């Protein structure tokens, strides 16, 4: 890290390449507790007041064990230059001027990449996030939270004079997130918040891939986030400058949700499950052939027995291979027998659904039967996979 005392006019180097926060701070070891990133775009009228307020507060609580990292995207109002001139009065302030890459979430991550703190935080630079909330966020992390979020939707939280449209859009975005990524967005009351702190270890080494404004969803979606704390705050009215939120932020947000959804799908596991299912098709056909041609068995009985043998085959392989890592957390015959019963029930429901779908597609929608069958198989495969992942092989605390 550039020696602050020697080079007050120095700017921070701008990281490039992968958006990955290092586990160990990149610059000479320093006992920095908190690195707070201030992402700016045209905030030259706000940052003087903000830096003074933050420094007054953090000097008192952390002494020199904190740093403010202002990351500016080459603002036309030269926010980066105003900030750099502030450094002689506020040595805890570091300034990064980005001239290529742009965007709120990548600005925050680039700031975290050069940060030296054990705790990484972000606050808007337009005075809409009250600095006092930082104390409660810090305290929550000290008490063991991986992530401490300033939320508008918990006790003592709120927004100042937001229009109904803005409230509707913000809540609408939240509902959309709950539909697409319930396991991520559903974990917090204010997933849109841009004001939070995270323990470095919870996101160190994770390859981050955000789109647009919502850096919190990226941290929630890709970090190792165990304990989460939420602190109420009132989102203030902007005094100077203007919000940069445009329609593009909403489309970016949707794209971000879909990308996280896809990245969080267990694709490798799904492919294994599909391969096991394919092996079951061959077992089903082989047994069916043996029963019919070898023992001249009844048609329905042969079909039922061969299907059951195939389900048993699939269970064995899935239990050992596809979901082996989960089975090994739930050892013993009793657990295995319980998993087999659940697997069997889900697959039998799948067989019924398969027949019903083929009838629906063929008789109701007039689809060719040789299109209807593979479509029914594909839909039922998703059903079998997702239900077995969530029910048959779900590792509950009790099993651990």
Decide: 1 and 113 in contact? Cβ < 8 Å: no
- With contacts defined by CB under 6 A, name the span among 70-78, 133-141, 294-302, 309-317 that binds ligand GDD: 70-78
Does residue 47 interact with ligand GDD by CB under 6 A?
Answer: no
Q: Locate the DSSP E strands across the chain.
A: 34-40, 66-72, 93-97, 119-122, 147-151, 158-159, 196-199, 228-232, 234-235
Site track for ligand GDD across 168-207, x = CB under 6 A: ------------------------xxxx------------
Residue pointed to by tokens 């006992």: 31
Which residue in 126, 146, 230, 252 binds Mn ion (CB under 5 A)?
126
**Using an 8 Å Cβ cutoff, are 217 and 256 in contact?**
yes
d(CA 188, CA 203): 17
Which burial class, exposed, middle or buried, applies to 126 when counting CB atoms under 10 A from its CB (0-12, 13-18, 19+)? Answer: buried
Considering only 12, 67, 73, 229, the residue that binds ligand GDD (CB under 6 A) is 73
Q: Is 113 in the site for ligand GDD (CB under 6 A)?
A: no
**Cβ within 8 Å of residue 236, ≥6 positions away:** 127, 128, 129, 130, 160
- DSSP 8-state class, residue 15: P
Q: Does 112 bind ligand GDD (CB under 6 A)?
A: no
The partner residues of 149 in beta bridges, in order of sequence, read 196, 230
Q: How far is the CB of 214 from Mn ion (least distance, A)?
A: 14
Contact between 389 and ligand GDD by CB under 6 A: the answer reads no
Task: Indicate which single residue of 65, 244, 338, 394 sits in contact with ligand GDD (rule: CB under 6 A).
Answer: 244
Query: Residues 6-45 vs ligand GDD: string with x where CB under 6 A?
Result: ---------------------------------xxx-x--
Give the one entry of Mn ion, ligand GDD, none that residue 67 binds, where binding means its C-beta sits below a cut-off of 5 to 8 angstroms depending on kind: none
Which positions lie near ligand GDD, rule CB under 6 A?
39-41, 43, 71-73, 102-104, 107, 124-126, 128, 192-195, 213, 235, 243-245
Which positions lie near Mn ion, rule CB under 5 A?
126, 128
């Amino acid at each position: 890290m550039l020696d602050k005392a020697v080079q007050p006019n120095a700017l921070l180097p701008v990281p490039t390449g992968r958006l990955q926060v290092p586990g160990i701070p990149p610059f000479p070891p320093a006992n920095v507790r908190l690195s707070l990133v201030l992402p700016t775009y045209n905030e030259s009228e706000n940052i003087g007041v903000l830096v003074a307020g933050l420094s007054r507060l953090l000097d008192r609580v952390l002494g020199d064990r904190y740093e403010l990292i202002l990351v500016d995207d080459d603002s036309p109002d030269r926010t980066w230059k105003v900030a750099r001139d502030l450094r002689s009065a506020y040595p805890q302030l570091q300034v990064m001027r980005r001239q290529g890459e742009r965007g709120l979430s990548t600005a925050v991550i680039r700031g975290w990449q050069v940060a030296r703190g054990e705790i990484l935080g972000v606050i808007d630079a337009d005075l809409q996030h009250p600095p006092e909330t930082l104390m409660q966020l810090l305290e929550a992390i000290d008490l063991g939270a991986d992530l401490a979020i300033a939320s508008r939707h918990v006790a003592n939280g709120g927004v100042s004079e937001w229009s109904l449209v803005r409230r509707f859009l913000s809540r609408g975005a939240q509902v959309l997130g709950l539909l697409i990524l319930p396991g991520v967005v559903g974990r917090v009351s204010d997933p849109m918040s841009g004001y939070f702190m995270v323990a470095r270890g919870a996101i160190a080494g994770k390859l981050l891939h955000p789109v647009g404004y919502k850096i919190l969803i990226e941290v929630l979606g890709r970090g190792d986030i165990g304990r989460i704390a939420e602190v109420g705050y009132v989102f203030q009215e902007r005094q100077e400058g203007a919000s940069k939120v445009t329609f593009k932020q909403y489309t970016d947000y949707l794209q971000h949700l879909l990308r996280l959804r896809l990245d969080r799908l267990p694709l490798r596991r799904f492919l294994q499950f599909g391969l096991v299912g394919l092996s079951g098709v061959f077992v089903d056909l082989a047994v069916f052939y043996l029963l019919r041609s070898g023992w001249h068995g009844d048609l329905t009985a042969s079909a039922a027995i061969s299907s059951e043998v195939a389900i048993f085959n699939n269970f064995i392989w899935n239990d050992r291979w596809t979901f082996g890592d989960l089975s090994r957390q739930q050892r013993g015959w009793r657990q295995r027998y319980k998993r087999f019963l659940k697997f069997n029930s889900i697959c039998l429901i799948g067989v019924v659904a398969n027949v019903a779908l083929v009838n629906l597609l063929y008789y109701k929608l007039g689809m060719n039967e040789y299109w209807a069958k593979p479509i029914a198989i594909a839909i039922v495969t998703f059903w079998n996979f997702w239900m077995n992942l969530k029910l048959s092989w779900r590792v509950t605390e009790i099993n651990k």
